Structure 1
Amino acid sequence: MISTINRLITAFWPPEPEKKSGAIKFGILGAAQAAYLGLILPAKSHPEIVLQAISARDRTRAEEFAKKHGIPDVRDTYQDIIDDPNIDAIYIPLPNSLHFEWTVRAIRAGKHVLLEKPSVSNSTEAKLLYNLPELSQPNGQVLLEAFHNRFHPAVHLFRSFINPADVVHVHTDSMVPWLMVGKDNIGLNYNLSGGCMMMLGGYNFNFLRLIFDDEPEECLACDTNIFKDGVHDKCDYDFKTKFRFPNGGIGEATSTFRGSLLWKPSEARVTMKEVVIPDKSLPSTQEKVVSRQVTLHGFLNAVVWHRVDVKDSFVIRNKNDRQPIKKWVKSQSHKAYTYKEAGGEFKDLSGEDWWMSYRWMLEEFVNKVKGRQTQYWISGEDSLKQSGMVDMAYEKSGLGLRPTSSFR
C-alpha cells in the first residue's frame, strides 16, 4: 500500500530535472483538459521537452492556461504557433473534427506532431494524412497518434502470455462515470466527430487489434444507444460491437459514457484455444491439453492499478473418446510498472515505476524525433488501419461515418 501511494504521488508530482540544451520545444493548439495528462504533466519530468507556447480560440483562456502551467508564450492563433520557427513540435488536443486540418498544416510547416486520438474522423482523412509525402522522407516529420496506454510495460507483459494465432475470443470493456460526459460534451457532438466509439471505444478497438495482431474481416454486430432528442441522435453514448478476425476468432468491445459513479477499471479478457502439450510420461493412448485465459485489468490507467491474471486449465484425457482422466487449474497474477518487471524483448528499456503511460509514450516520441532507436512505436500504417476499424463499426451501427473535413 505504501509503495502504491508513493508511486501515485510521484506520478502526479514528478521530479523536474533541468532541461537539456537542444530540448524539443512544443507548441500546444487549444487549452483542452486532455493536454494536462497528455503532455503537460509528463513533460515536467522529461529533460528534453520544453513547453514553449499555446494558443486557443479564446486568448483569455489561453493566457489563464499558460499562467497555470508555466507556458511562457501565448499566441493569437493556431497558425501563429505553427509558423513560429522556434517551435519544433506541435501537440494537438483539439476536437476530433479539427485533427486532420491542423495536423496537415503542422506537418507541411516542418513540425513534428503528437496527435490526440482518434487521429482523424474517418479513413478518408486517414489515407490523406498518413500518405503525406513529408512523412515518408528520410529524417522527415514524426507523427504519432497518442494511444498512450500501449506504451505501458503492463500491456507488453500481458501480450507476452498470448499467442495471437490461438486466440478464439476477446472481451474488452471500458467506461467513464456518467457525470463526466454531459450532453453538451464535445464527445457527443456529431459535427465535431463525437461518439463513444470515436473517443473511449477507440481504446477497445485498438486493443483488439493488438491482441489478434491483425485486422478484423467483418463487424458482425454493433448495437448503440443514443439520446433521441434530435440533437445528439448521431452520436453513440455507449455501444457493444462484435468483430470476426482472420483466424476465426471473435473480438468484442463494449464501452460507455454513462457508466456508474462507482468506477470500474478497463478490462481485456482473452480466451485461447485448446493446445496439446507433449508429455512423454503419458501412455500413447492419452494426451495432455491446456486452454488459457489471460485478463488484463486496468489497460487504460495501469499506473494507478493493474493486474494480469493467467489461468491455465489442464486436462489429461483419452485420445479416442476425449474423456477426461484428470483436470486441474493453475492460476497466476502478475504486474509490471517497469519494463524490467515485464521482461521479454523490452527488459532493458529504462524508466521509472511511477511513469504514467503518457510518460512512457513521450520518451519514445523524443527518441524518434532525436533519431534514436525506439523500442516501441505506433506507425502511420497502424493508425490508418485503426480508422478503418472504427468506420466498419459505425457503418454497421447505422449511425454513419463521422464528417470528412473539407480541408485539403
Structure 2
Amino acid sequence: MISLLTRVYTSFVPPTPEKKSDVVRFGILGSAQTAPLSLILPAKSHPEVVLQAVAARDHILDDPKIDAIYIPLPNSLHMEWAVRSIRAGKHVLLEKPSVSTAAEAEILFNMPELSLPNAPVVLEGFHNRFHPAVHLFKSFITPADVVHVHTEAMVPWLMVNKDNIGLNYSLGGGCMMMLGTYNFTILRMIFNAAPEECLACDTHVHADGIHDKCDYDFTAKFRFPNGGIGEATNTFQGPLIWKPSTARVTHKETVVLDKSLPATEEKMLTREVTLHGFMNAVIWHRIDVKDSFVIRSKADGKPIRKWVDSKSHKAYTYKEAVGEFADLPGEDWWMSFRYELEEFVNKVKGRKTQFWIPGEDSIEGMKMLDMAYEKSGLGLRPTSTFR
C-alpha cells in the first residue's frame, strides 16, 4: 500500500530535473482539461521538454520559438489544426483519436510534407500503448494463435453528463470515439493486424432529439485475418466504484513438444492472458497468465492428465518488463504519458525509438472506427471540410 501511494503521489508531484540547453519547446492549442495530465505533468520531469506557451491557435503556430504542438482540441478540430501545424513546420503530438474518420486520417498521415527530409514528427497519443505493462502483456501473446479477445473499459456515470463534450455529435463525440478507440488499438496490437470486418455493433443513445447520434455505451465484435474474434465493450455510464479496464486473450490449443512422453501421447496447451488496467497502469495493473495443459492419447484423444499453471506479473518499469526493452529508461511513477513523451522526444531528435505508432496504424484505427459506426447504424462522425 505504501509503495502504491508513493508511486501515485510522485506521478502527480514529479521531481523537476535541470533542463538541457537543446529542449523541445511545446505549445498547447487551447486550454483543454486533458492537458495537465497528458503533457504538463510529464513535461515537468523530462529534462528535454519545456512548455513554452498555452495560447490562441494562430499565435502558437506563428511563434518561431515553439518546436512542437500538442493538440487536445475537440475531435472534430483535430485534422484542421494538425494540418495547419504540420504546414507551419511544427512537430505534432495529437490527442487520440487522431481525427474523426478514415477519410481524414488518409489526408492527414499522407500529407506531402511528411515525406520530405526533416519532416515534422506526428504521433497519435494512444499513451497507454507506451507503458511497460502493455509490452510485457504483449510478450505472452502469440498473435497467430489468438482465437478470442474480450476488452472492456468504463467511465463512471457522474463524469459524463449530456452536456459533456463526449456526447456532442458536432464536436466528434460518442463513447466509441472517445473511449472505445483505446480498446480498438489494443485489439489491433494483440492480433498484430487490422480487422477484416465488424460483425456487430450495438449502441445506446439518449433518444431526446439532441444526442440521438452519440452513443453512451456500445459493444462491438470484429473478425480478424486469422479468424479470431475481438470484442470491445465500453460505457460512459459505469459505476462510481472504479473498475479497471481489461483485455482478456484466449489462444487456440497448441501442441507442446515433450520428449519425455511416449509416442502414443501428446501434450497440449491452451493459454489465457489477461491485462487488468491497460489504460491507467501506473495506478494499478496485473497481468494474469493461465496455462491449461492436458496430456492425451493420440489414438482416441482422451485426456490422461490435466493441470493448470497460473502466474501473475507486473511491470511499472521496463526493467520489470525484461526482454528486448529491459534497458529502456523509466521510473515506477512514470505515467504512460511520460513514457510516450520520452519516445516522442527521441523521435524529434532523430534518436532510435523502441516503440512507435506509425501513421499507417492510425489510419487503420479510423477504418476500424468507421466500420463499427456504420455497423451500428449511427453512421460516421462528421468529417471536416478543411483541406
Aligned mates of 1:343, 1:266 — CA distance in 2:
23
- Indicate the SS of the match to 1:200: helix
AA aligned opposite 1:398: G
Aligned mates of 1:333, 1:22 — CA distance in 2:
42
Partner of 2:48: 48
Query: Structure 2 residue aligned with 1:269, among 245, 248, 273?
Result: 248
Partner of 1:355: 334
Moved over 4 A (4+): none
Q: CA deviation at 1:25?
A: 1.0
Partner of 2:103: 124
Contact 1:96–1:193 (8 Å) recurs in 2: yes
Contact 1:287–1:317 (8 Å) recurs in 2: yes
Q: CA deviation at 1:284?
A: 1.3
Q: CA deviation at 1:138?
A: 2.4
Aligned mates of 2:6, 2:170 — CA distance in 1:
43
- Indicate the SS of the match to 2:310: strand
Partner of 1:284: 263
Partner of 1:152: 131
Partner of 1:58: none
Partner of 2:358: 379
Question: Which whole-Å deviations, capped at 9, do the CAs of 1:47-70 have from their partners, x for residues lacking one?
Answer: 111111112xxxxxxxxxxxxxxx
Aligned mates of 2:39, 2:69 — CA distance in 1:
11
Question: Which whole-Å deviations, capped at 9, do the CAs of 1:297-328 have from their partners, x for residues lacking one?
Answer: 00000000000000000000111211111000
Q: CA deviation at 1:24?
A: 1.0
Aligned mates of 1:206, 1:165 — CA distance in 2:
17
Aligned mates of 1:6, 1:319 — CA distance in 2:
54
Query: Structure 1 residue aligned with 2:368, among 369, 389, 399?
Result: 389
Q: Does structure 1 residue 234 correspond to structure 2 residue 248?
A: no
Query: Structure 2 residue aligned with 1:188, among 160, 167, 181?
Result: 167
Identity %, equivalent residues: 74
Aligned mates of 1:93, 1:403 — CA distance in 2:
18
Q: Does structure 1 residue 302 correspond to structure 2 residue 281?
A: yes
Query: Structure 1 residue aligned with 2:190, among 211, 217, 242?
Result: 211
AA aligned opposite 1:8: V
Contact 1:19–1:47 (8 Å) recurs in 2: yes
Question: Which whole-Å deviations, capped at 9, do the CAs of 1:178-234 have from their partners, x for residues lacking one?
Answer: 000010111111110111110110000000000000010100000000000010000
Question: Which whole-Å deviations, capped at 9, do the CAs of 1:78-134 have from their partners, x for residues lacking one?
Answer: 011101111111000000000000000000000001000001000010010000111
Aligned mates of 1:354, 1:141 — CA distance in 2:
30
Q: Map of 1:248-259 to 2, 5 A cutoff?
A: 248-259=227-238
- Indicate the SS of the match to 1:300: coil
- Indicate the SS of the match to 2:136: helix
AA aligned opposite 1:22: D
AA aligned opposite 2:137: F
Partner of 1:11: 11
Partner of 2:122: 143
Aligned mates of 1:262, 1:54 — CA distance in 2:
34
Instruction: Compute the TM-score of the two structures, normalised by the length of structure 1.
Output: 0.94
Question: Which whole-Å deviations, capped at 9, do the CAs of 1:366-404 have from their partners, x for residues lacking one?
Answer: 010011111110001110111100000000000000011
Q: Does structure 1 residue 320 correspond to structure 2 residue 299?
A: yes
Contact 1:25–1:49 (8 Å) recurs in 2: yes
Contact 1:175–1:266 (8 Å) recurs in 2: yes
Aligned mates of 2:208, 2:309 — CA distance in 1:
51
Q: CA deviation at 1:283?
A: 1.5
Question: Which whole-Å deviations, capped at 9, do the CAs of 1:33-57 have from their partners, x for residues lacking one?
Answer: 11011100100101111111112xx
AA aligned opposite 2:374: E
Instruction: Compute the TM-score of the two structures, normalised by the length of structure 2.
Output: 0.99
Contact 1:139–1:371 (8 Å) recurs in 2: no
Partner of 1:89: 68
Q: CA RMSD in A?
A: 0.7
Gaps in structure 2 of 5+ consecutive residues: none
Partner of 1:74: none
Partner of 1:369: 348
Q: Map of 1:68-87 to 2, 5 A cutoff?
A: 77-87=56-66
Count residues in correspondence: 387
Q: CA deviation at 1:354?
A: 0.8
Q: Does structure 1 residue 243 correspond to structure 2 residue 254?
A: no
- Indicate the SS of the match to 1:198: helix
AA aligned opposite 1:270: V
Aligned mates of 2:271, 2:20 — CA distance in 1:
47
Partner of 2:143: 164
Aligned mates of 2:135, 2:126 — CA distance in 1:
14
